[in-house]
């Protein structure tokens, strides 16, 4: 291994394929592999949730009992080890196992979530010590692991083992900050330091906001697209933390997420009825017909089929969609296939839509990875009208699979989708700026109009399919950021 290679401990509450609710899992399951391929020593740590079967994933116990000090108590964890990737991408994954905290049906939404993720974070640090593996970087993700930078600057400050360890904190979505009461400080062993008072953010004076602590204490902060890195400095997108982000904006970098182009490949994806690539686009219609059949829509190769795959949350802009469906169906020949789970009112809204337009709107309320791939590989267009979107992976996967994106120009959507301009012939999708149902409506109609011209449409599909969404470029940007973090840590 090269002498300037870095030891990076990568902490995430979700890692694909072990546990996934959204984009964080995809990133955690692919960025570390790309970093290892660059010659660094990256190891992932995640909790061993009850649903992760050691047999299925071939996990082995490596440490039967790791002692983890938590506040004034000590609790044990068992450490299992597995791996993802192969060849130079092979990446070790450590699992923190503790039946009391993680042996449950779901990943989140328990009253003791703060304690669950504090224990996981603390166990990761103690694991490094036990392995005698001194990380140059601890890379923390989202609120779950945001206390690590705070710990390294307080209770671990004089610990020689972490004397040179720098922290990088990545914000995947500012809307989920992990806000709890004072008791959490006692569990974290930080009671003596109290709440953080910050002149810009009075709302932090009497709560423990995990994400705010990650932002305030990390050596470097990153977020998942350049546009979102700019947006979160404003009150409109800052979710109350724009003040502290502006304060630290010299430490904030936007790096666009990649996707795992090896597994997300229409030429080899085993979930697709028919594999295809840029040279065999003609075969793709078979996937469309199979998809229409599977989700109960009339099998029509000519009708434009629009796909939606998403958490059903306010962030994703479905209120706009709700407002345009009736006129859209009245005046246009179009089919929709929706796959998503989330808030009850969106289930209700889309359920009604499916009842009103059974031949045109198919609603599928499950988390179903194989069906998702079939939608990417069989739909003609992919819709993401998000209110805000830190990066968004859906539009990238869709493009790679030849489904043309229709998106709002925000965050990572703005960084990846370029509006088609018929006067110049440039662009790879259809975009709108204002968060407004008329703007969405006219953009969808624009897409439908262009769909009628196979030559133009084929060009749009090919542009998306040929765009480079691999991690290679972004992984190098992360390495730059790691080196910056080490310089900040050393006070240089």
- Name the site residues for ligand ADP (rule: CB under 6 A): 22-23, 26, 309-311, 339-341, 367-369, 372, 391-394
Task: Mark residue 402 as left, alpha or beta (left: phi above 0; alpha: psi -120 to 50; beta: remaining).
Answer: left
Q: Do residues 162 and 147 touch, judged by C-beta distance below 8 A?
A: no
Nearest CB to ligand ADP, comparing residues 204 and 312: 312
Sign of the CA dihedral running 254, 260, 264, 268: positive
Nearest CB to ligand ADP, comparing residues 23 and 429: 23
Nearest CB to ligand ADP, comparing residues 144 and 489: 144
Q: How far is the CB of 376 from ligand ADP (least distance, A)?
A: 7
Q: How far is the CB of 380 from ligand ADP (least distance, A)?
A: 17
Q: For the sheet with 252-254, list strands across it.
A: 60-70, 73-84, 91-97, 41-47, 7-11, 137-141, 166-171, 220-223, 252-254
Cis peptide leading into 407, omega within 30 of 0? no
Q: How far is the CB of 314 from ligand ADP (least distance, A)?
A: 12
Nearest CB to ligand ADP, comparing residues 98 and 395: 395
Q: How far is the CB of 255 from ligand ADP (least distance, A)?
A: 14
Nearest CB to ligand ADP, comparing residues 300 and 311: 311
Q: How far is the CB of 311 from ligand ADP (least distance, A)?
A: 4
Nearest CB to ligand ADP, comparing residues 28 and 37: 28
Opening angle at CA 149, ends 143 and 151, nearest 5: 105
Sign of the CA dihedral running 51, 54, 59, 63: positive
Nearest CB to ligand ADP, comparing residues 371 and 448: 371
Token pair of 12 as six digits = 């995430």
Q: Which residues contact 25 (CB under 8 A, 6 or more apart)?
A: 12, 14, 15, 16, 19
Q: How far is the CB of 357 from ligand ADP (least distance, A)?
A: 21
Nearest CB to ligand ADP, comparing residues 149 and 394: 394
Distances (CA, A) of 68 to 78, 132, 157, 282: 10, 15, 17, 57
Q: How far is the CB of 264 from ligand ADP (least distance, A)?
A: 9
Token pair of 349 as six digits = 């809204």
Q: Pairing state of beta strands 137-141 and 208-209?
A: unpaired
How far apart are the C-alpha atoms of 60 and 46, rounded to whole Å?
14
Residue showing the smallest CB distance to ligand ADP in the complex: 23
Q: How far is the CB of 297 from ligand ADP (least distance, A)?
A: 18
How far apart are the C-alpha atoms of 44 and 58, rounded to whole Å?
16
């Amino acid at each position: 291994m090269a002498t300037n290679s870095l030891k990076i401990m990568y902490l995430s509450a979700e890692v694909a394929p072990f546990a996934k609710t959204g984009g964080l899992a995809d990133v955690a399951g692919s960025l570390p592999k790309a970093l290892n391929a660059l010659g660094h020593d990256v190891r992932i740590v995640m909790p061993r949730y009850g649903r992760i079967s050691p047999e299925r994933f071939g996990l082995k116990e490596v440490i039967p009992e790791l002692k983890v000090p938590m506040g004034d108590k000590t609790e044990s964890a068992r450490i299992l080890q597995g791996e993802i990737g192969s060849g130079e991408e092979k990446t070790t994954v450590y699992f923190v196992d503790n039946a009391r905290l993680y042996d449950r049906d779901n990943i989140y939404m328990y009253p003791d979530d703060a304690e669950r993720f504090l224990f996981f974070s603390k166990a990761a640090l103690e694991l490094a010590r036990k392995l005698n593996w001194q990380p140059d970087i601890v890379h923390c993700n989202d609120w779950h692991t945001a206390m690590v930078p705070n710990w390294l600057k307080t209770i671990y400050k004089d610990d020689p083992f972490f004397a040179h360890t720098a922290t990088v904190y990545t914000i995947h979505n500012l809307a989920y900050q992990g806000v709890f009461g004072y008791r959490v400080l006692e569990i974290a062993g930080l009671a003596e330091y109290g709440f953080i008072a910050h002149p810009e953010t009075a709302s932090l004076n009497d709560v423990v906001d995990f994400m705010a602590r990650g932002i305030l204490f990390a050596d470097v902060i990153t977020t998942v697209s350049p546009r979102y890195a700019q947006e979160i400095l404003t009150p409109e997108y800052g979710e109350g933390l724009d003040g502290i982000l502006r304060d630290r904006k010299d430490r904030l970098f936007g790096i666009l997420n990649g996707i795992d182009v090896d597994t997300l490949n229409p030429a080899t994806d085993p979930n697709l009825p028919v594999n295809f690539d840029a040279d065999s686009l003609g075969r793709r219609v078979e996937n469309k017909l199979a998809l229409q059949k599977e989700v109960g829509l009339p099998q029509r190769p000519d009708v434009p089929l629009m796909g939606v795959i998403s958490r059903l949350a306010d962030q994703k802009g479905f209120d706009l969609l709700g407002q345009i469906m009736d006129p859209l169906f009245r005046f246009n020949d179009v089919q929709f296939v929706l796959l998503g789970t989330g808030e009850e009112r969106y289930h209700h809204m889309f359920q009604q839509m499916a009842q009103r337009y059974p031949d045109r709107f198919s609603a599928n309320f499950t988390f179903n990875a194989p069906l998702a791939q079939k939608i990417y590989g069989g739909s003609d267009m992919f819709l993401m009208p998000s209110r805000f979107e830190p990066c968004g992976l859906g539009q990238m996967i869709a493009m790679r699979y030849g489904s043309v994106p229709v998106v709002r120009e925000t965050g990572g959507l703005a960084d990846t989708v370029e509006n088609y301009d018929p006067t110049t012939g440039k662009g790879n999708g259809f975009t709108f700026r204002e968060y407004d149902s008329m703007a969405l409506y006219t953009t969808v109609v624009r897409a439908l109009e262009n769909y009628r011209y196979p030559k133009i449409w084929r060009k749009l599909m090919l542009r998306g399919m040929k765009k480079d969404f691999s991690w290679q470029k972004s992984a190098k940007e992360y390495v730059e950021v790691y080196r910056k973090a080490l310089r900040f840590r050393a006070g240089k």
